[in-house]
Chains A and B, each alone.
Chain A
Amino acid sequence: MDGSNSIETQGLGRVYKIRNPGKKEARTLTALEGVDLQIQRGELFGILGPNGAGKTTLIKILTTLLSPTHGTAHVAGFDVTKDPENVRSRINMVSGGESSGYGLLTVRENLWMFAQFYGIPSKEANERIKTLLKIVGIEDRANTRSSSLSTGLRQKMNIVRGFLTDPEILFLDEPTLGLDVGASRSVRDFIRRWMDENHQRTLLLTTHYMVEAEELCDRVAIINKGKLLACGTPASLKQSQQREAIFQIDLDSPKSLEVSVFEQLAGVNMVKLHDEEGKTVMDLALSEEAVLANVIAAATTQGAQIITLQKREPTLEDVFVRLVGQRMEEVEHGNDASPD
Chain B
Amino acid sequence: MAMMLPPIKNRQTGWRLFLMTVIGRSYPRVVGMQRELSWIFFDTFLPMLGVVAYVFVYRAIKAPEDYVGFVVVGGAMMAYWMNVLWSMSSQLYWEKETGNLALYIISPGPMMGILLGMAMGGLFATTLRALGIVILGSLFFQVHYVIVSFWQLFLVFFLTMVALYGLGMMTASLYLLLSREAYHLSNLAQEPIFLISGFYFPIKSFPAWVPFVGSIIPLTMGMDAMRQLAFASGPSLGWISVKLELIGLVVLSVLFLVSARVLLDYMERLAVREGRLTESRA
Chain A positions within 8 Å of B, measured between CB atoms, are 14, 16-19, 26, 60, 63-67, 85, 88-89, 91-93, 95, 98-102, 104-105, 109, 112-121, 124, 128, 131-132, 135, 161, 163, 165-166, 193-194, 196-197, 339
Contacts and interface: CB of A to CB of B under 8 A. Distances in A.
Contacts of B272: 64-67
A120 B11 contact: yes
Contacts of B10: 120-121, 124
A63 B106 contact: yes
A165 B20 CA distance: 14
Interface in B225-282: 272-273, 275, 277-279, 281-282
Nearest to B17: A119
Given A16-B281, A121-B12, A104 B36 contact: yes
B50 interface: no
B184 interface: no
Nearest to B107: A117
A277 B102 CA distance: 42
B251 to A, nearest CB: 31
B108 A116 contact: no
Nearest to A119: B12
B47 interface: no
Given A113-B24, A124-B8, A119 B103 contact: no
B143 interface: no
A322 to B, nearest CB: 33
Contact of A99 (B98, B108, B282): B98
B65 to A, nearest CB: 41
B121 to A, nearest CB: 11
A116 B8 CA distance: 13
Interface string B87-108: 0000000000011101111111
Interface stretch (B26-34, B71-79, B146-154, B163-171): B26-34
A170 to B, nearest CB: 11
Contacts of A93: 102-103, 106
Contacts of B7: 166
Contacts of B5: 128, 131-132, 163, 166, 194, 197
A60 B12 CA distance: 26
24 contacts: A16-B281, A65-B277, A66-B277, A66-B278, A67-B272, A88-B107, A89-B108, A98-B99, A99-B99, A100-B100, A109-B32, A114-B103, A116-B20, A117-B109, A119-B11, A119-B13, A119-B109, A121-B10, A128-B8, A132-B5, A161-B103, A194-B4, A194-B5, A197-B5
A259 to B, nearest CB: 38
Contact of B105 (A65, A114, A163): A65
